[in-house]
Amino acid sequence: MTAQAAVDGNGALENKIKAKAAELGFAKCGIKTALTPPHHREYNEWLAEGMNADMGYLLRQEPKRADPNKVMHRAKSMVVVALNYYTEAGEKAADNGVVARYARFDDYHDSMWARLEGLLCFIASEQPGVSGKAYCDTGPITERDFAMRAGLGWIGKHTNLINRNLGNWFFLGELLLDIELQSDQPESIHCGTCTRCIPACPTGAIVAPYKLDARRCISYLTIELKGSIPTELRPLMGNRIYGCDDCLDACPWNKFAVKSSDMAVQQKADLSSPDLCELLMLDDQAFNARFANSPIKRTKRRGLLRNVCVALGNVGEKSAVPYLLHACNDHEPLIREHAEWAIEQINHRAESN
């Protein structure tokens, strides 16, 4: 059988792929044809409204997101996998920082890439001549649409994928393949009348069911945004310094989530509730050393310390002012600006009490 031929009707290869995916540690695996995602029209409308904020790459990648064949020539099928990363929330100190759960351990891309490549090698051993490409939140793949079509879950009103057995806590990865595979049945939506995730958003970024305005999203503001955080949104961010889980936490389907036993997602103690003043003292070398293998390196030092300043402005006491004064002399203008704002907020609270 050639790489371009369809597999037989018994689903033998598909079953082997799913068994191998489970062996590699993936919690779920589904298969779908590589066609235009069904919600692409809504995605284009979302872009037209500017809700992608300054993430211009999403606009540039739109033609590829509409057609997987522009991502990989002669793409016929997509294997979609989910990796469970659920961990206990842990104790939170009101005056410490909050980091999204997925960022409290080593960069998930490394673990996902290794497993995806392992799965691709396995498929190649079973189907000589196959060509494929692996993706994990790194390319122009509308992965939640494909994951829903492949039966891994449904897109909730917070725009994230929900699975009956995993809740909200899992990573997605994809393999584009140039062979035809039997598709799995898509998952249906099981949100019902529930809207808990919408009011749970601190900044009101979920402007309607299934519609997120990235310009207000704390995950965008603390990770993707490169410049200043809008002053009107800073007080709403609380002590969140990297990402936000509030809409995910609110979902009742999380009652079925099972703690991951995967060693790749074992939580780092120093990121469950990090000391804000300690983080503010990190120089370039210390930041690079501490976050070398962490998703947090994505923000770079200036982005993280900008976020730390905002958090201190919201929850910090007078004891944080010396640290912020130190930050006012930082070589990064972005840090200096937000440190000055934080001092003003702390002083205003002190005067009001």
Q: Which helix (H) or strand (E) holds 240?
A: strand 240-242
Q: Which residues are catalytic?
A: 137
- CA 84, 85, 91 angle in degrees (round to 5)? 145
Give the span between the Cα atoms of 149 and 72, in whole angstroms: 19
- The identity of residue 324, as a single letter, is L
Distances (CA, A) of 84 to 47, 120, 139, 173, 245: 30, 20, 21, 12, 15
H/E element, 146: helix 143-149
Q: Give this prediction's pTM.
A: 0.93
What are the boundaries of each domain within the chain? 12-97+105-177, 197-250+275-347
On whether the CB atoms of residues 194 and 209 are closer than 8 A, the answer is no
What is the H or E stretch that residue 44 is in?
Answer: helix 40-48
Ranges in the chain, pLDDT < 50: 1-8
**Coil, helix or strand at residue 340:** helix
pLDDT at 10: 62
pLDDT tens by residue, 101-160:
999 989 998 889 999 999 999 999 999 999 999 999 888 999 999 999 999 999 999 999
Q: What is d(CA 253, CA 73) in angstroms, rounded to the nearest whole number?
A: 38
**Residue 91: per-residue pLDDT:** 60
**What pLDDT is recorded for position 8?**
47
Name, in order, each residue with C-beta under 8 angstroms of 49's C-beta and a sequence gap of 6 or more: none
pLDDT of residue 137: 86
Helical pair 108-126 and 12-23, crossing angle rounded to 10 deg: 150
Q: What is the pLDDT of residue 264?
A: 74
